[in-house]
Amino acid sequence: MIPIRDTAPCYSKPLVTWSIMAICIIIFIVMNLIPDQNAVDILNHYGMIPLRYTTQIPDLPFDGYLSFISNLFLHATWIHLLFNMWFLWIFADNVEDRMGRIPFLLFYLSCGAFATALQCYFDQMLAIPVIGASGAIAGVLAAYFFLYPYERVIVFFPPLLIPVPAITFLGLWVLLQLYKATTAIVFTNTPVDVAWWAHIGGFIAGSFLYRFFLTKKKLDLA
Tens digits of residue pLDDT in 8-48: 999 999 999 999 999 999 999 999 999 999 999 999 999 99
Cα Rg, the chain, nearest whole Å: 18
Cα of 62 vs its chain's centroid, Å: 24
pLDDT at 191 over 60: no
Confidence label for 141 from pLDDT (cuts 50, 70 and 90): very high
The rounded percent of the chain whose pLDDT value lies above 70 is 92
E strands, the chain, where? Answer: 2-6, 152-157, 160-165
Q: Nearest to residue 44, comparing CAs of 63, 64, 25, 20?
A: 63
Question: Could you tell me the fold of the domain covering 2-212?
Answer: Rhomboid-like fold (1.20.1540)
Q: What is the DSSP letter of 5?
A: E
* Domain segments of the chain as ranges: 2-212
What pTM was computed for the model? 0.92
127 in Cβ contact with 49 (< 8 Å): yes
> For position 195, what pLDDT does the model report?
87
Average pLDDT over residues 172-200: 78
pLDDT at 222 over 60: no
Torsion of CA 86, 87, 92, 94, to 10 degrees: 100
Q: Which residues contact 219 (CB under 8 A, 6 or more apart)?
A: 9, 11
Q: Nearest to residue 192, comparing CAs of 105, 125, 137?
A: 125
